[in-house]
């Protein structure tokens, strides 16, 4: 299915599908999604509302990790159903009272964008804590949803970016709790062989460790 065909279905974007094209107003001006971020990874995240306690802690945390995200070619983009003047004043409040300057843009939404992306809480008009991770080609690679009472974990989002980049580059997978897996440490998982010959080759490859032909791992190529 082409991007145009998928967008015409009106369905919420899913993992592995192109992010729908849209033009949005942000605190940094108008942005074209995903086109303006082509060549970069993008974390698009929604928060329930400006001037709320948990959301404020999240924005401070995103900003404190901003340089680390940038070093990995990752851009940040916030969103809530608040208007641009509210975003601007909230960002000013954070700088004046907490000392953190929010350097990434925030989308001002009337509700259409959040509805299109499945971000609306079913029991309120606010957005849920959603996270969409897009790769440099504008493909949705991961989606997270959090309840209003639970703030996001920046370390997990950073871990996901690191893992997705390794997976994309080397066609491998990450075990549970990577890079601190209980069985394989920071090794990566090799996809199961699809034929007998490949399975034999892997068992004979000294750079690959296998518990069986279908469960093989090796050192992280990016280590």
Catalytic residue (one of 24, 42, 43, 55):
55
| 69 closest CA partner among 174, 177, 159, 168 | 159
- Is 216 annotated in the active site? no
> Measured between alpha carbons, how far is 197 from 141 in angstroms, rounded to an integer?
31
The number of residues in the chain equals 223
- Dihedral-angle region of residue 216 (phi above 0 means left; psi in -120 to 50 means alpha; beta otherwise): beta
Residue 194, preceding bond cis, omega within 30 degrees? no
> Measured between alpha carbons, how far is 1 from 115 in angstroms, rounded to an integer?
22
> Measured between alpha carbons, how far is 31 from 13 in angstroms, rounded to an integer?
19
CA dihedral (206, 212, 214, 216) positive or negative: negative
For the chain, where are the alpha helices, taking DSSP H only?
Answer: 3-9, 53-64, 66-71, 84-98, 112-116, 154-170, 196-204
Write phi, then psi, for 111 (nearest 5 degrees). 120, -20
Active site residues per annotation? 55
């Amino acid at each position: 299915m082409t991007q145009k065909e998928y967008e015409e279905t009106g369905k919420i974007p899913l993992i592995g599908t192109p992010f729908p094209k849209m033009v949005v107003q942000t605190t940094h001006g108008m942005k074209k999604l995903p086109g303006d971020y082509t060549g970069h990874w993008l974390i698009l995240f929604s928060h329930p509302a400006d001037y709320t306690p948990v959301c404020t802690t999240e924005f401070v945390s995103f900003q404190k990790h901003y340089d680390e995200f940038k070093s990995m070619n990752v851009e940040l983009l916030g969103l809530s159903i608040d208007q641009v003047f509210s975003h601007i004043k909230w960002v000013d409040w954070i700088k004046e009272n907490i000392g953190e300057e929010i350097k990434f843009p925030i989308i001002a939404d009337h509700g259409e964008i959040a509805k299109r992306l499945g971000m609306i809480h079913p029991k309120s008009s606010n957005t849920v804590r959603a996270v969409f991770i897009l790769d440099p080609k504008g493909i949705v690679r991961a989606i997270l949803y959090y309840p209003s009472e639970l703030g996001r974990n920046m370390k997990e989002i950073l871990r996901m970016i690191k893992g997705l980049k390794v997976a994309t580059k080397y066609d491998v997978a990450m075990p549970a709790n990577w890079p601190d897996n209980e069985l394989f440490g920071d090794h990566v998982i090799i996809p199961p062989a699809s034929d007998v010959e490949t399975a034999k080759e892997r068992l004979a490859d000294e750079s690959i460790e296998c518990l069986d032909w279908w469960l093989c791992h090796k050192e992280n190529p990016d280590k």
